[in-house]
Structure formats: structure tokens, C-alpha cells
Structure 1
């Protein structure tokens, strides 16, 4: 790992500093940072910096304070695009052509605590961080000091190119402790391009609800490793359903790019535009298959490409359940109803509740308790370490539960 020379670092810091705008919001008195990306005065910042603001002013490094208007905002990635109202030629910076590596040096510039242009340095500590800020979290983690007011400011590489937008910190005190998070520039560019053209972001839509593939679920499906996105449900009439994808399929790749988990599937699909054709590789019944799908447009009512249910995991073959045909107890026309739950049993510990309906076990539909027992015995006889059950809750939500078949569990 090489350390940038002082003269080089100072030179690109001065050039970058000239392009950095501190976005001072008159409405509410909020203060943040931003940076100019074009000579005609387009400015990138965080959505949370300008959200709900009626008036935005941008203060440049030369001391000028100029009015700006909001061109577009995207709450899902926390990116906003502004435009300085005064015409002119402004200094600007460019996005990096390559993603930074862990260990690369970076420089962060912003307006901490309203002090004005401030430069701090550090390295990229990690990539792909999910901090629960939004549905498409994929943050760079950096250790350059970031504080309140830095939000929306740029993170530069040693070539003076923007590789991230400073967005959040993790801190027990509220101040910098070396845990800062920046939105990668590739994400920012894709969002900004749409905001500049359309004032909003249109995202691809597959139409599936998915959950992570845990170790237990992987064993239940006969997979060597827990990876991919397990489909809970393909919504009727959606691109996924029209292409034949269904509950129990595991999406393994999109356009040849491996999918490691449900979150990654969400990001991949959302990063594509409606109408784009994608090649989906998936696993069904132990066999791989492919589908070519034309993506729809993500609904604007808050629906997601993929919603992960991480609450379900493993269990034991001694379920601790009282079962009955769902049709006989009035819960459903099909499936096996859970009519009693041992609160100390393994199924209860895994979230199974009275009123749930077991729809299938190991991919086979079940209608009687004996069907459940038979499929478990079959899975045990075939050497499976776990069996996968699809369960519908009393609220109508379906999810998969992997039941461990290890004899000494529980």
C-alpha cells in the first residue's frame, strides 16, 4: 500500500476543495455538504440534507453564496441533485473510473459543524457495508474523520476523483470514531444521470419476494454452500411469474453476475432500468435452469424488488406441533394446519405459530399430517441434513423454514 506524496495530496486537495459546495438550508437551518459535477453548476448532495427544504443556498469555497434548486431526489439511495441558479462556469470534479480497493487512500472534504471546507484523510476500510439505511445499502467504509455537516460531501481517491458520497457515521458519542460510510460513486452516477434527465429514478422490477439462503436452507435444498436468493413468492402477473419463476427457486446469478444473497439481488435488479432484458440463472429441484426476463418498473407504492425475511432459520425433526388437515379446521383449502404448538419445542423457537399452514415439505405439497411425516422420513433416508418447509402465516405471508434433521439437535 503506497502513501500519497504530500505535495501531490495537497495539490489535488486544493483543486477538489474549490469544487466543494457547502449546502446551507435556510428552511430548518440544516447544514450539509455537496460538490459540483459540471461547469454549469450541477451539485450532488445527500437527499437527507435537502429533504423538506423550501430554499437551498450553496456556499462556494471562494465565499460566494448562491441560490440553488432541487432537480431531483432519491430517498432509497439518499442522493439528491441540485442546480445553481446563477449562470456561469464553475470549477467541478469528476467521478472515478475505477472502484477503490480496501486499503486505498482517500480524502474526504466537507463542512463539519458548519466550519466550512475541511479536508480529512484515511483509507477504505471495507466495501459492501449494509448499515440498514435503505433497501440498496452497499456502502464504502472509510476511516477518514467524518462529522455532522459532512453529509453529502465527496470522498476522493489519490487522483482527485470522486469515489463516494459521505453519508453516515457509526459512533457512540455522535462524533467521529473512524467509522464512516460513503455511497459508492458508481451508484451515485447511475442515480444522478436519471435525476438530471427525468427528475426521478426508475428502477427495474422482477416481482419476487425473497429471503436469504441460510446454511440450514442450503442443506435442505441439497446446495453445497448457502448462497443466492430464495424465492418466497412470485407475484401474479409480474415479469418473474410470466417467465415461470416460482416459490422455492433459488436465483443464482443475473446477467452472469453471481448473486450471493437477497440484498444483492435487490441491488442488481434496481440498478437496471425498466424494459431491460436480463438473464436469470436459478436452481430448481437440484437442477440449474435459465430464464430471459424483461424487467417491469418498480411500483412507486413502496414495493420492493425483493423483501428479505431473515426471521426464519433452522429447526428439528421433533417439531413440537399438533397438526391437522387445513381443510378440516377451516384455515385453508390445502395444506396442513398447525393447531397446537409446544412453547418449549423447536418449531416454536423458530417462529411457527398456531394458525400457520404448512403448504409443502421438501418441495412436495402436503394435505395431511402423515404427508409431513413422510417427507421428513424421505429426506432423512436420502441423507439430507435438513428439510425445507413452506409455511403460510395466519396473515397470509409465506416463508420458508429449514428443519434440521440432525438427530442430536434439541
Structure 2
């Protein structure tokens, strides 16, 4: 462990030692003169003079003080104070059908099957996203299963925090304290979007508890992870805060603290303490190609925990504000095509019908740049900001609409529990059309949407993509429907070419298209070839 730099001037005895050394050096200088004279008169060597005795004594005093302070400063006092508040969480599910080994086990993963996040980010409980016991017994059988995680008390009357995925679906939750005492806990509420859960142990009002920190951790701050790795019981590891605001692909509310304190399966739901003994975050995920710790872990910030826990305690669920827009980041290409100086804000791909945003006049292609006067850095920040406000709250949005800045006032709705996006029809049903007309400058062949069965009436359908084209690099594929090009609705290949030529005339480096793929819309900035 790196030793903390020591300011010697703060030591009580340093000043005295320094004065002693200074005095000794003065005496040594005088003694050297006398010794020199003595050597000339009496013949003894000045190297053997009395000054050496005084100089050595002064140095010894300073060195003694330095050695006292330079001993490694450990975390024992902090751990002794906070460890009793940390609990082991064990769950039991009375009856759960296990999955056939030949089936796709990724159904339980928190990430889409085959995605990079599914492959590399693993929940602490196990490689398929659940605690070890929750993967079931013999193939195709039924039976009771168990799993383990961590948690910590946040109040003396028995309220405790853990992860949602630790207690999800549990029929029985049992917590064990550091002294070995076990209690049955009740699940008060869970929040899948932030992976937090609030549980309650009855019968006592003197549980040791931890305080959630009010301050935001800084990169480089010490962090202590306490939990129940591999079911071993209370284990402590130390590291530093490596980064903040991490998005690990778990959802729009990702805002994780990245730490390098070693954490493993079973640490899930346990606290990450700062050097004040306060909880800076709840450990919830690790980056682990192998399933074990590689020194990259993620914690839910204390600020998020406070907000979620307060609602869970009050009503057992979490309500979030909602404006009803499908948003995406503003890339440098998109910013250029919109004439923006900086790639900031959240681009509205599509407002949902009858949503607060649609009723307030927000349109596809608008860029939301601020909420209540606070700048919006990107799409994730907009989602977190709006989600952190209560339904019914009146907000003021700064919006860039068709190149003009405007202010939109609206009242937040409540975020639906599920948002379904359905395609009009499968691509296989989009037959019966000609091959379409080419847009060679982009490497696309398109046909009017109303000429392709199941494609709808608006826009043009992509019928062919040159695999070496700029469009292919941007993710275009057969069946996509181009609704707008450079802010203009298009219905034919000719209108697509006209919009592209207009963008060239305006010296744009890329052209912005609104594309419908499946059941959702997005904007794509496609670079324009020179010449």
C-alpha cells in the first residue's frame, strides 16, 4: 500500500528537533574551527572532533520521528467501526424450473444475448446473471434453490440495502450479521432499473448501521469494499476510485462509480466505504471475462441509493418523471449536419404519441440542450435528470428546433413500467416491390415505402446496400425505412438525391437522415463523398 506523504513540520517535536540540529551544526562549525587550531597546536585530527557527536544526536532525533510516522497507515480502525453494519444475504426460492443445458441460458442475462456487454459484464451472482444456486438443479427439473449476496443496514430499526438481482423472486430472505446472528428479512421494495432493493428485519431497534455519504467521491479517493465473496463471510478489500459516471450498457440510468478494490461473486449488494466510514456506493457489477475479479468493479452512487431507497420505503416502488421521447447521442457528424458548434445535448429521434413532449410541440430532430437552465451533456444525462424528477413536476426545456433556440414548458408524466416497441411487420413480408432506384453517392438502393408490402406509407425503403459504402458503415440494412433527409420528408429516390445535393450546396460534410428500423426510429449522419 502506498504510504501517505508526511508533512514533518506538523509534528510536535519537529521544530525542537530542527532547532537542535541547527544548534548542533553551529556548535559543529565552532568546534571545527577550534579543532583545526587544536590540530595545528596539539597535533590531533579535526575529523575526530566533538562536532560529530552533536550532529549524529540531532539527526537521530529527526529520524526517530520520521520512522514513527512512516509506518504504513492501515484501515483497521475504519473497518472495525463499519464492518458490523454489513450483512450476508441468503435467499431461498421454493420452486424454480431449471433450464435445459442445451437451451439459451442468456435469457436471464441483464444484457441482450450475444452483445459485448453480455459477454464481458457479469453480475456478481454468476456468469448467467443470477446467484449460483438460482441456475437450478438437474436438467429440466424443479426444486428449491438458494443464492447469496451482501447488503448493509442503513438504520437502527432494521432497514437494509442490497441489489435487486440478489433478492429477485425470493420466497425467503435471511440475513446474517458479523457476530453470526441470523434474522429473517422482508422485501420492502425493489427497483430493477437501478438494481436496488430495500429489505427489513423486524424485532430490534439497535442494529449497527452505515451512513450514506453526502459527498461525491473524487477519482483517486480510497475505497473499501466489504461483503460476502463466494459465501466466505465478511471480507474487506481496498482500492481507489478509478472513474465516475460509467455507462456499462445496463440502462439509461447508468451512472456507476468504477473502483479497483477487488470484488467477486457474492459481493453484490455490499457497500463501498470511503475513509470517513460512509457508504459512497453499492457494489453491483464487475468487468470479468473470466468470472473472477480483474480489478474493475462498479458501484451505484450513494446519491442514487438515497433517492431510490426513500421511495421504496415510502411506497415500495419508484416513480420517475417522463417526457416521452426516444433520444440518442449527438455525435460530431450529427452536430455538423445540424450546424451545431459542439456535440452536446440529446437528439430527439421520435416523440411518442400523446406524450408530454409531443403535446408541448417537441419534434423529431430537435436537440434538448438544457433542463431548468442546467446544460444537458448527452442523452444519458437527460434520461437521468428527467428520471430523477417526480411525475407532475413542471420543467423548462431548452430546445434547438430547425436551427432556432426555443424554450418549451411541460409537465412530466410518469415513466411506464414497460415500453414496447413493435415493428409494423417482419421483413420477410415486405415483398412485391421492384428493386428500386439507386442513390450511388451513399451506396443505397431505395424504393417508395408505399410500393413495398408492410413498409407503411411514409418514406423510402432500403432494398439494397453496397457493403463497401458509407451507408453500410453507418449500419444501414435492407428493410430500413428512410423517413427524412436533411430535415425534409422523402418519398422517392429523387427526393433523397435532391436533399443530399442541397446539403452539398450548404458545404455540409454529412447529411442527417431519420431512419426507422424495426419499431424504433433513429438519426444517422452519413458522410458525403467529395466531388
> Is 1:397 equivalent to 2:463 in the alignment?
no
1:322 is paired with a residue whose SS is strand
Equivalent-residue separation in structure 2 for 1:396 and 1:47 (angstroms): 29
Out of 431, 434, 441, which is 1:318 matched to? 441
Taking the aligned partners of 2:335 and 2:358, their CA distance within structure 1 comes to 23
Contact 1:326/1:357 (8 A) holds in 2 = yes
Q: State yes or no: 1:18 paired with 2:84.
A: yes
1:44 matches 2:168 = no
Name the residue aligned to 1:358. Answer: 482
- Please point out which of 325, 338, 346 is paired with 1:229: 346
Task: State which structure, 1 or 2, has the greater radius of gyration over its C-alpha atoms.
Answer: 2
- 1:169 maps to 286
Greater mean deviation of Cα atoms: 195-204 or 317-326 = 317-326
| Residue aligned with 1:195, SS | helix
- Paired residue secondary structure (2:525): strand
In 1, Cα distance between equivalents of 2:365 and 2:497:
20
The structural deviation recorded for 1:328 is: 5.6
1:260–1:54 CA distance, 2 compared to 1 (3 A): same
Cα distance in 1, alignment partners of residues 445 and 231 from structure 2 = 63
- Contact 2:157–2:202, Cα closer than 8 Å, also in 1: no
Give the equivalent residue in structure 2 for 1:345.
469
Q: CA deviation at 1:347?
A: 2.6
Number of paired residues?
396
Contact 1:67 1:86 in 2 (8 A): no
User: Which piece of structure 1 moves more, 99-108 or 164-173?
Assistant: 164-173
More displaced 10-residue stretch of structure 1: 316-325 or 53-62: 316-325
Residue 284 of structure 1 and its aligned partner are, at CA, apart by 1.4
1:115-157 CA-to-partner distances (Å, cap 9, x unmatched) read: 2212211110000111223332111111111111111111111
Deviation of 1:377 after TM superposition, in Å, equals 1.7
1:317 Cα deviation after fit: 7.3
Question: Which ranges in structure 2 are unaligned for 5 or more consecutive residues?
Answer: 6-68, 94-144, 422-438
Aligned to 2:38: none
| Distance of 1:149 and 1:354 partners within structure 2 | 45
Distance apart, 1:406 and its partner CA: 4.1
- Offset at residue 14 of structure 1 (A): 1.1
| Bigger mean CA deviation after superposition, 365-374 or 203-212 | 365-374
Residue of structure 1 in register with 2:234 after alignment: 117
Residue aligned with 1:66, SS: strand
- Shift in CA distance, 369/22, structure 1 to aligned 2, threshold 3 Å: same
How far apart are 1:71 and its partner, in Å? 0.4
Give the equivalent residue in structure 2 for 1:308: none
Pair 115,321 (structure 1): closer, same or farther in 2 beyond 3 Å:
closer
Hey, what does 2:378 align to over in structure 1? 261
Highest relative contact order (Cα 8 Å, sep 6+), 1 or 2? 1
Q: Secondary structure at the match of 2:307?
A: helix
8 Å CA contact 2:470, 2:527 repeated in 1: no
Q: Normalising by the residue count of structure 2, what TM-score does the alignment of the two structures yield?
A: 0.70
DSSP 3-state at the match of 2:149: coil
Q: SS in structure 2 opposite 1:29?
A: strand
Q: Closer, same or farther in 2 for the Cα pair 1:16/1:382, shift >3 Å?
A: same
> How far apart are the structure 2 equivalents of 1:294 and 1:335?
32
Report the CA distance shift for 1:78/1:349 in structure 2 as closer, same or farther (over 3 A). same
The answer on 1:382 being equivalent to 2:514 is: no
Q: Does the C-alpha gap of structure 1 residues 368 and 177 become closer, same or farther in structure 2, counting only changes over 3 Å?
A: closer
Determine if contact 2:262/2:297 at 8 Å carries over to the other structure: yes
Quick check: 1:246 aligned with 2:363? yes
Superposition deviation, residue 106 in structure 1: 1.2
Q: State the alpha-carbon separation in 2 of the partners of residues 184 and 102 from structure 1.
A: 13
The whole-number CA distance in structure 2 between the counterparts of 1:302 and 1:328 is 30
| Conserved? CA contact 1:3–1:105, under 8 Å | no
User: CA–CA distance in 2 between the matches of 1:333 and 1:45?
Assistant: 50
Measure the CA separation in 1 of the matches of 2:377 and 2:415.
22
State the 1:269 CA deviation: 1.6
Shift of 1:371: 2.5
Q: Does structure 2 retain, via aligned residues, the 8 Å contact 1:36–1:92?
A: yes
Counterparts of 2:3 and 2:374, CA distance in 1: 31
- Partner of 1:94 in structure 2? 211
Change (3 A) 1:114 1:325: closer
Q: Deviations over 1:261-284 (max 9, x none)?
A: 222222222122111122211211
The answer for the alignment partner of 1:311 in structure 2 is none
Q: Considering fraction of residues, name the structure with more helix.
A: 2
Write the distance in 1 (CA, Å) between the matches of 2:3 and 2:440: 55
Distance in 2 (alpha carbons) for counterparts of 1:337 and 1:31: 51
Q: 1:254 to 1:362 in 2, by over 3 A?
A: same
Q: Measure how far apart 1:239 and its partner are.
A: 0.6
Specify the SS of the correspondent of 2:218.
coil
Shift of residue 358, structure 1, vs aligned partner: 2.8
| 2:161 counterpart of 1:68 | no
